């Protein structure tokens, strides 16, 4: 059942029609629990709040799989405005970007050109830019782009996904680069990725420990307290300097734990997504933790005095989702 639910939400996250409609509907469905609004101003406000509590941030202007140069260029401009604002506001944060938002599916050199414009300004402001890792279809290209950019920039890094069999090999090759370790968020074939959670978790620990013993900075990005606790013990045992790594979690997830880690003196960084293109991201988060749906549905469908809201957006999406779900289930 867990897999059916996961596949259902991943299916929705990739649904072009729903993604486009969600942009038109505007911000709803309880997405504000996980997404800090749609504008640069709204996300900077969220950063300032977290900075006050000793938490730094990484910002993601939501959007992916863009096939139109005008849209890719608009995304680049918004990211540059974001960089200017981070600098002006002296906010403690860096950027996370997705190459398919910046034209990777249009033309690799065009995407590299957009990244260069972003990295030139980020370098000037001393801001780090992390390239998020997307699905396996874009994996080799992402690493190729990173290799090209690293020849001229040292403020760029990427992500290693522990569900991939080749994660360790790629991580070793990138041992001098700042990396984020994650489990992996996409539905990948068993030919390239471990299908079972235990193997993915075990690989995560193996990769994170290896990185912690190395020299480059590592972001340990997980909400999994078993992994976090084991790594906390590991850094203690091995006397690993706290400046060599940070913990990262997504905005809106395990807030108590985020603050606890920061209060314990660990570097902590919250990944904050924002922007109009929230639907795919939001559905992937529901895929990971369908329990969130109960909370969100209650917030979205009911008013505070427990009356059913009649918002056409919410009801429409609930119906489309239910239809897609049952159709999907029947096929299995
Ligand atoms: C900062 C950040 C950046 C990321 N960047 C990328 C990227 O570039 N590419 C990519 O593919 N993926 C990325 N991801 C997503 C990642 O790959 C996983 O899909 C996602 O983090 C879920 O895995 P997990 O490690 O958090 O733990 P899970 O395997 O989802 O959870 C493990 C256990 O932790 C506990 N738990 C988890 N969440 C909660 C909660 N909210 N409340 C209570 N208990 C909880 C539960 O006991 C659960 O069984 C990123 C994740 C983070 C945190």
The CATH number given to whatever domain includes residue 160 is 3.20.20.220
The Cα–Cα gap between 63 and 121 comes to 21
Percentage of residues in the chain having pLDDT higher than 90: 70
Residue 147 shares a structural domain with residue 214:
yes
Both 12 and 61 in a single domain? no
> How confident is residue 331, by pLDDT bands cut at 50, 70 and 90?
very low
Q: Are residues 42 and 89 in the same domain?
A: yes
Query: What is the tens place of the pLDDT at every residue in 123-174?
Result: 999 999 999 999 999 999 999 999 999 999 999 999 999 999 999 999 999 9
pLDDT value, residue 317: 57
Q: pTM of the predicted model, to two decimals? A: 0.88
Task: Indicate if ligand 1 lies below 6 Å from the C-beta of 99.
Answer: no
Q: How far away, in angstroms, is 308 Cα from ligand 1 center?
A: 32
User: With bands split at pLDDT 50, 70 and 90, how would you rate the model's confidence at 309?
Assistant: low
* Cα atoms in the 13 Å half-sphere on the side-chain side of 11: 16
Give the domain extent around 131: 36-277
Question: How many C-alpha atoms does 146 have within 13 Å on its Cβ side?
Answer: 27
Rounded to the nearest whole angstrom, what is the distance from the C-alpha of residue 208 to the centroid of ligand 1?
15
Residue 119 has a pLDDT of 98
Mean pLDDT of 85-94: 98
pLDDT (0 to 100) of residue 319: 46
The answer on pLDDT for 179 being more than 60 is: yes
The answer to whether 19 and 320 have CB atoms below 8 angstroms apart is no
- Is 112 a residue whose pLDDT tops 80? yes
Average pLDDT of span 311-327: 51
Q: Based on the domain organization, do 200 and 241 belong to the same domain?
A: yes
> Tokens representing 292?
């969130």
Closest-CA residue, ligand 1 atom 33, reads: 224
Higher pLDDT, 13 or 226: 226
Reported confidence tier of residue 330, pLDDT bands at 50, 70, 90: very low
237 and 184 within one domain: yes
Does any domain span residue 84? yes
Cα distance between residue 79 and residue 187, in whole Å: 28
Residues 119 and 57 in one domain: yes
Residue environment code for 175-207, b if the CB has 16+ CB neighbours within 10 A, otherwise e: eebbbbbbbbbbbbeeeebbeeeeebbebbbeb
* CB 248 near ligand 1, within 6 Å: yes
| Average pLDDT score over residue span 104-118 | 98
The verdict on 151 and 66 lying in the same domain is yes
Tokens 């620990």 locate to: 205
**Beta carbon of 183 within 6 Å of any ligand 1 atom:** yes
Residue, of 29 and 130, whose pLDDT is higher: 130
Structural domain includes residue 282: no
Instruction: Tell me: do 146 and 94 sit in the same domain.
Output: yes
Distances (CA, A) of 270 to 36, 212, 246, 312: 12, 20, 10, 33
76 and 188 both lie in a single domain: yes
Pocket test for ligand 1, best of 185, 192, 257 (most atoms within 8 A of CB): 185
Residue 318: band (very low, low, confident or very high) from pLDDT cuts 50, 70, 90: low
* Ligand 1 atom 42 nearest Cα: 254
Same domain for 91 and 227, yes or no, is yes
Please report whether residue 285 resides in a domain. no
288 lines ligand 1 (CB under 6 A): yes
Tokens linked to 45: 């406000």
Catalytic residues: 132, 180
Other Cβ atoms less than 10 A from the Cβ of 19: the count is 19
- 175, 324: one domain: no
**Looking at the 3D structure of the chain, how many domains does it have?**
2
Q: Could you tell me if 313 and 265 lie in one domain?
A: no
Distance from C-alpha of 286 to C-alpha of 215, rounded to nearest angstrom: 35
Distance 222 CA to ligand 1 centre (A): 5
Q: Does ligand 1 come within 6 angstroms of the Cβ of 159?
A: yes
95/118 Cα distance (integer angstroms): 10
Tell me, yes or no, whether 223 lies in a domain.
yes
């Amino acid at each position: 059942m867990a897999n059916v639910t996961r596949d259902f939400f991943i299916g929705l996250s990739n649904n072009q029609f729903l993604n486009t409609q969600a942009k038109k509907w505007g911000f709803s469905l309880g997405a504000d629990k996980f997404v800090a609004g749609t504008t640069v101003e709204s996300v900077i406000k969220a950063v300032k709040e977290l900075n006050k509590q000793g938490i730094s941030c990484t910002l993601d202007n939501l959007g992916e799989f863009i096939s139109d140069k005008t849209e890719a260029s608009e995304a680049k401009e918004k990211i540059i405005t974001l960089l200017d604002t981070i600098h002006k506001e002296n906010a403690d944060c860096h950027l996370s970007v997705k190459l398919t938002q910046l034209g990777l599916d249009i033309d690799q050199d065009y995407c590299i050109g957009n990244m260069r414009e972003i990295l030139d300004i980020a370098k000037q402001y001393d801001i780090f830019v992390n390239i998020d890792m997307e699905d396996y279809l874009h994996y080799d290209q992402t690493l190729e782009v990173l290799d090209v950019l690293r020849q001229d920039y040292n403020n760029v890094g990427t992500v290693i996904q522990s569900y991939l069999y080749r994660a360790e090999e790629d991580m070793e090759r990138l041992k001098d680069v700042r990396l984020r370790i994650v489990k992996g968020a996409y539905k990948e074939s068993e030919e390239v990725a471990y299908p079972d959670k235990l193997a993915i978790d075990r690989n995560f620990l193996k990769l994170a420990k290896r990185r912690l013993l190395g020299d480059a900075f590592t972001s340990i990005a997980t909400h999994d307290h078993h992994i976090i606790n084991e790594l906390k013990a590991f850094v203690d045992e091995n006397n690993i300097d706290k400046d060599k790594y940070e913990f990262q979690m997504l905005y809106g997830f395990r807030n108590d734990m985020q603050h606890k880690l920061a209060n314990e003196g660990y570097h902590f960084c919250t990944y904050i997504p924002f922007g109009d293109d929230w639907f795919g991201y939001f559905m992937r988060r529901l895929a990971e933790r369908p329990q969130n749906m109960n909370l969100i549905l209650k917030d979205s469908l009911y008013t505070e005095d427990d009356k059913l809201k009649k918002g056409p957006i919410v009801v429409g999406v609930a119906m489309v989702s239910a239809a897609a779900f049952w159709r999907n289930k029947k096929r299995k």
